[in-house]
Amino acid sequence: MSDTLPPLSGGCLCGRVRYAATPTHRDGYYCHCRMCQLAFGNTRAAFFNLRKDQVRWLNGPPAYYASSKIARRGFCGHCGTPLSFEFLDGENLDLSIGSLDDPGQLRPTEHFGVETRIAAWHGDDGLPGSRLDANAGIVQRWRTAYGEGAEPGLETVRQAGGTMAAPSPAKKDSA
């Protein structure tokens, strides 16, 4: 039944990055976390989740950047379209709904990261919502990477010095 769904296709604005995706469902979700808001330059992100082996990058993989110590985001290195999100240690990834050739093939089913949802830009659609810090698996990933007691989210990333690799030790003023 669901295994017979036809593949989805998508890609970036300029057309350089293209993918084929074979999820076994048609469910998407909104993420309202601050990192997604910034990564998309928008009030929220819309994604669908599938296994990494259900995505085929047709012209080679997208460019990536580390949005935290535990995740990376794929985008077109030429036009900048946000394409994917994945935890480094996970077997799944998210693709952006807007990058689909036909985004209307999927339906939103829930809201995530509702603690930073922007009320003025959100109309109640009756869909269920959950908090980022209510997901035990995600909280554990953050604490393993950033330390016991670290709260998942943008502030933790920034307090740790951003998303780049740890800076080399500061040069001494010995000269």
Instruction: For residue 165, give the 3-state DSSP assignment.
Output: coil
- Mark 79-108 with x for binding to Zn ion (rule: CB under 5 A) and - for no binding: x-----------------------------
Give the residue with the Cβ less far from Zn ion, 12 or 95.
Answer: 12
Residue 50's CB: how many other CB atoms inside 10 A?
Answer: 18
> How many residues belong to the site for Zn ion (CB under 5 A)?
9
Q: State which of positions 59-78 bind Zn ion (CB under 5 A).
A: 76, 78
| Position among 8, 10, 12, 106 found at the interface with Zn ion (CB under 5 A) | 12
* Integer Cα distance of 97 and 84 in angstroms: 10
Residues 22 to 51 in contact with Zn ion, rule: CB under 5 A: 31, 33, 36
| Nearer Cβ to Zn ion (136/166) | 136
Instruction: Please report the sign of the dihedral spanned by the C-alpha atoms of residue 102, residue 107, residue 108, residue 110.
Output: negative
**Which letter does DSSP use for residue 138 in this model?**
H
